[in-house]
Structure 1
Amino acid sequence: MPIAASILLLACSVLAPPTAAQTPDTTAARIDSFIEGAMKDLDLVPGLSLAVVREGKVVYAKGFGWADLERQEPAAAETIYYLASLSKALTGMGAAVMADEGRLDLDEPITRYFPDLRFPPRVAPADSITVRSLLTHTARFRNSGVNFYTSFVDRYDEEDLVHVLSGYSGPSEGFSYSNTNYAIASEILERAAGRPWQDVLAREVFAPVGMTSTTAYASRLPVRGLATPYLRTERGFEARPPLKTDRKITGAGGFFSNVRDLARYVIANLDDGRIDGRPVLPAAAVREVKKPQATLSATFFEFDRHAYGLGLYRAEYDGNLLLHHFGGIPGGFRSHMSFMPRHGVGVVVLQNTGGAAGAFPHIVATYVYDLLTGHPDAESRARRRLDDLSARAPERVRSLTRQVDRMDSAAAAGEVPGLHRSAYLGTYENPRLGRVRIRPGVDGLRADWGEIDAPMVPLGGNDFLVQWQPGYAPVTWTFLLSGDRVQGFDWGPRPFRRVGTDEPASGASANRRAPSPRGR
């Protein structure tokens, strides 16, 4: 019997079939049974928290499993998780509130805030790109370097950001989802408000809604009550190191929150900015965020997406409009926030793993929606989804295990670099991705890049294996020589040239100059 069948037969044997008339206690019991059984039998999710909203109230809020396995700290409704791209929904609301207050014009060109910005000829003129087009992912340019750098490495100063955008952007048409758009948008919020963009969101969104545990500062997170990220490998759940620092957080994916806070945010969205009948957000701003502003056609999980607002997708699920945004990173978190205006219901699911269990929050959410809307096939639909996840998970777990083990296997092979390790020391620069400093470490060479510090494992000759982020595949660097002197290295199509032997690593810069000092 498939594992999902055993999970759901238990629920069915105790609880009545799902109907619109079922009691809240019955619904809660079905949800409890479903999640507890699925987590036990799948063995893919260490911890998960769920909140359900109905008719303006949080009717369910609970944690399952462990926020931290080593400390045996249970997951709870108050457990704080990293939200990843779900953060865009909050950034979009912050922009809409500022626009409603007259402190930001969504339809003004971004050159008001970056007057020196000029795109290459093949890209739309910079003064034709608006703040709104950033927030709706219709900005008509793309820049993978900014996307990667701001997500994983460091924060640009303004001159570096303008240089990289001006010199290395490509054209884009229609709806084109990108973290770059929201990274730039958060910088614009900061310039428009005259204060850090993180504080703008706290003042305009988090505080009025009562999101007391939500922050965009990694440095302000509590020691206890914070979910540890895990990667599921063939050895079990392996804890991952912290993924974010304050300088690696943008409005594209930088917030931390819990399901109780996000449930309040859902209530405000469902009731035009009100909670318990009291206005907490401007109604016009809430409507602006939710209305369709960019068209698309895509299916994610079982959600047929057809439009995007300011940080919210619009999709159909089982004939119902579902507004939502999700988030995730391979090495530790998945987030789901959604709501159905027609039924006045919403669901928030946060879990502290990604990888093989990436779809589990959506399985939980759709099961809850099926129960709340009285779908007659709620159990069989959930069974099918769980069986599909169960069938695909083993190969995904094996793949992630191989990926994690690649660094260890390479180190165990004991390969020796082609040159003495001192020959590789120094600073290397790519005009889009900034400077990397290679320095001696306790067990070999290490690479410093912005906020990242990574080991370099020799593969033989002048090749090295480097892993910047847990959960992501290691990359190979091939060093280029002129005689016996290292001139630079290639990282796929990204060449870095050597610019010094003892300069400190710093932020992104062009070949034109050294980057400006950090620390603001």
Structure 2
Amino acid sequence: MPLRLIHRCLLLVLALVSFVVPAAAATPEQAARQLQAFLDGIPTLGPGYAVVVVDRERQLLGYVRGTRNVASGAPLTMGTPMYIASQTKSYMGLLAQLLDQRGVLRLDSTLAEHWPQLRLPAGVDPAEWTLADLLNHRVPLSADALTTLEAYIGAPDPALYPQLLSMLASARPAGFDYDNLGYNIYAAILYQRTGKRWQDWLQEELFVPLQLHETAARTSAFDSAQLAFNHQWLGQERGWQVVLPKPDAIMHSAGGMMTSPRDLGRWLRVQLGAPVPAGFNAQAIDAAHVIGVQVDPKARNAYELPCNGYAFGWNVCDFEGHTLYIHGGSYTGARSMMAFSPDLGVGIGVFSNSDNATGWLTSRTVVQFFQYLVDHSEAASWAQTRQQTYPKRVAEQLAGMRARQEKERADPRWQGWNWQPTGEKRAIHVGRFRGERLPVDALISEDDGVLRLRIGVLERELQPAVVDLFGAQGGPLDAVEPLRFLRDAQGQVNGFEFDGERYLR
């Protein structure tokens, strides 16, 4: 009998004989219908929202509402690719298990084995930490400059990773600490080992064999007209701000995938034990569900659930006595979440192409479904409360972001924003600069009397405040960040500092 079938049978036996784990009181079909009614009762849900509910055999609910792009008015569909951010990690976790079991890249190999030259901060020995530790957020390193580079500016050459870690990484306390760094390091090692990018490995090992035809790790794989664009709500007067899909340059291994609600349903069915194509190593799926690090169940998390572990891209949590594997994703103008329960035999994926309190709503949509499924005594009252609360949260979030903007602009360091440089004064700041630590170029240009910053794909408008001090702003809801120009001994502008990094001519 195959190992995976034995594993499933044992789970079934445990569920039947245990008096601790409660049985579901509603059918998945009933819970799905109740969830649809709950979503229909939220009048301000938009611009697009999608939910897929599955069991091992089939899709139970395919709920889509609104548009994928308010500028075009094109409808959101079950086949629309949407950005899922950090949910990418579970796909990378399964890929890592497949490659481990094939002997391509062992999960028990250490950082020192792959990079003998690697030098890390005191107290962090590369020989003590494995690739499995990377994918379960156990390696006690932090490198915000590097993860920011991957997620917002542009992926560096993987060959530079040992050098970048030596320069940018710092030690952090031991134990679980969720971050993107481990997955980014794994992808760099994978490329060094095989000469193939993580995107291509996912395509060949997961997307094609599992028939995920509306899924890719490069945005350019799709016609942009078919994609869901992200959105930010600017209020009744200004409406929706359209945010372009993430470009390939910042689609990284910890947050770099587009998938459709339909394909996510297929992915969740695979997690629940649906048949996989001949030749696909099903044992790797179960291996990717094994907890790799314990987590304090009392610690706060985005799911508002007690979670006791992390397993290769999945938070392992408890919901009313049932095991729940869950992970969310967030980025400017988008929120998403997925979860499945092995003992309840169902999975759910939730997508929003806006970020107006939808981090809260996507998680509450997941919880609401499982409350219906277990026939929670307060499911109906919670549904009403959430329907009434969501519009209030949208208004509160917008007000909070505007208040943060105003507070930052009132900071004394800006000295009242009184500096109004002439064209000649602006021109001395224009030019091309090179990162002192980061392997990137930065460009300061002038457009119609306004200075602009570009580093990779990151762009900011520069607002003059005091001589050589500008406020850098991205989107209309972002708070300004300080960008200060530097001068040499002769008083000539020779660089600038921004976001903790220095750039020189």
> Unpaired segments of 5 or more residues in structure 2?
1-23
State whether residues 109 and 126 of structure 1, in contact with CA within 8 Å, keep that contact through their aligned partners in structure 2: yes
Query: Which residue number corresponds to residue 86 of structure 1?
Result: 87
For 1:377 and 1:50, locate their aligned partners in 2 and report how far apart those are by CA, in whole Å.
22
Q: Which segment drifts farther, 237-246 or 282-291? A: 237-246
Query: Which residue number corresponds to residue 135 of structure 2?
Result: 135
* TM-score, normalised via structure 1 length: 0.83
Q: Secondary structure at the match of 2:294?
A: strand
Shift of 1:162: 2.1
Shift of 1:401: 4.5
State whether residues 355 and 400 of structure 1, in contact with CA within 8 Å, keep that contact through their aligned partners in structure 2: no
Shift of 1:382: 2.3
AA partner of residue 112 (structure 2): T
State whether residues 129 and 140 of structure 1, in contact with CA within 8 Å, keep that contact through their aligned partners in structure 2: no
Query: Which residue number corresponds to residue 452 of structure 1?
Result: 458
State whether residues 417 and 463 of structure 1, in contact with CA within 8 Å, keep that contact through their aligned partners in structure 2: no
Query: Which residue number corresponds to residue 483 of structure 2?
Result: 477
* Per-residue deviation, residues 157-186 of structure 1 (Å, max 9, x unmatched): 245332220122111211111111111112
Shift of 1:388: 4.4
Cα distance change on mapping 1:22 and 1:286 into 2, 3 Å: closer
Taking the TM superposition and a 5 Å limit, the aligned residue runs for 1:90-489 are: 90-120=91-121, 122-172=122-172, 173-235=174-236, 237-271=239-273, 274-275=274-275, 281-297=280-296, 298-300=299-301, 301-329=303-331, 331-401=332-402, 415-417=419-421, 420-426=425-431, 427-432=433-438, 434-468=440-474, 472-481=478-487, 482=489, 484-489=491-496
For 2:241 and 2:259, locate their aligned partners in 1 and report how far apart those are by CA, in whole Å.
20
AA partner of residue 241 (structure 2): A
Shift of 1:442: 3.6
Cα distance change on mapping 1:293 and 1:497 into 2, 3 Å: closer
State whether residues 120 and 169 of structure 2, in contact with CA within 8 Å, keep that contact through their aligned partners in structure 1: yes
AA partner of residue 338 (structure 2): M
State whether residues 437 and 501 of structure 2, in contact with CA within 8 Å, keep that contact through their aligned partners in structure 1: no
* Per-residue deviation, residues 495-516 of structure 1 (Å, max 9, x unmatched): 5253x2xxxxxxxxxxxxxxxx
For 1:246 and 1:231, locate their aligned partners in 2 and report how far apart those are by CA, in whole Å.
21
Shift of 1:265: 1.1
Cα distance change on mapping 1:445 and 1:432 into 2, 3 Å: same
* Per-residue deviation, residues 388-414 of structure 1 (Å, max 9, x unmatched): 44443322112334678999999xx88
AA partner of residue 477 (structure 1): L
* TM-score, normalised via structure 2 length: 0.85
For 1:23 and 1:132, locate their aligned partners in 2 and report how far apart those are by CA, in whole Å.
34
The number of residues matched between the two structures is 470
2:40 to 36, 41, 63: 36
Shift of 1:77: 1.4
For 1:250 and 1:328, locate their aligned partners in 2 and report how far apart those are by CA, in whole Å.
14
Shift of 1:376: 3.2
For 2:439 and 2:196, locate their aligned partners in 1 and report how far apart those are by CA, in whole Å.
27
AA partner of residue 137 (structure 2): H
Shift of 1:22: 6.0
Q: Secondary structure at the match of 2:444?
A: strand
Query: Which residue number corresponds to residue 19 of structure 2?
Result: none
> Unpaired segments of 5 or more residues in structure 1?
1-18, 501-520
1:64 paired with 2:70, answer: no
Identity %: 24
1:490 paired with 2:497, answer: yes
Q: Secondary structure at the match of 1:79?
A: coil
Q: Secondary structure at the match of 1:310?
A: coil
Shift of 1:444: 2.3
* Per-residue deviation, residues 382-437 of structure 1 (Å, max 9, x unmatched): 23344444443322112334678999999xx8852387112112315331474422
AA partner of residue 455 (structure 1): E
Q: Which segment drifts farther, 230-239 or 318-327? A: 230-239
For 2:51 and 2:28, locate their aligned partners in 1 and report how far apart those are by CA, in whole Å.
19
Q: Which segment drifts farther, 312-321 or 450-459? A: 450-459
Shift of 1:71: 1.9
Query: Which residue number corresponds to residue 17 of structure 2?
Result: none
Shift of 1:203: 1.0
For 1:154 and 1:373, locate their aligned partners in 2 and report how far apart those are by CA, in whole Å.
45
For 1:195 and 1:32, locate their aligned partners in 2 and report how far apart those are by CA, in whole Å.
42
Query: Which residue number corresponds to residue 74 of structure 2?
Result: 73
Q: Secondary structure at the match of 1:395?
A: helix
For 2:491 and 2:404, locate their aligned partners in 1 and report how far apart those are by CA, in whole Å.
32
For 1:137 and 1:360, locate their aligned partners in 2 and report how far apart those are by CA, in whole Å.
26
For 1:79 and 1:414, locate their aligned partners in 2 and report how far apart those are by CA, in whole Å.
47
State whether residues 48 and 351 of structure 1, in contact with CA within 8 Å, keep that contact through their aligned partners in structure 2: yes
For 2:190 and 2:239, locate their aligned partners in 1 and report how far apart those are by CA, in whole Å.
39
State whether residues 111 and 117 of structure 1, in contact with CA within 8 Å, keep that contact through their aligned partners in structure 2: yes
Shift of 1:219: 1.4
State whether residues 446 and 453 of structure 1, in contact with CA within 8 Å, keep that contact through their aligned partners in structure 2: yes
Shift of 1:243: 4.8
For 1:469 and 1:186, locate their aligned partners in 2 and report how far apart those are by CA, in whole Å.
30
* Per-residue deviation, residues 58-77 of structure 1 (Å, max 9, x unmatched): 11112112212222222221
Shift of 1:214: 0.4
AA partner of residue 37 (structure 1): G
Query: Which residue number corresponds to residue 8 of structure 1?
Result: none
Instruction: Give the aligned CA root-mean-square deviation in angstroms.
Output: 2.8
Q: Which segment drifts farther, 46-55 or 238-247? A: 238-247
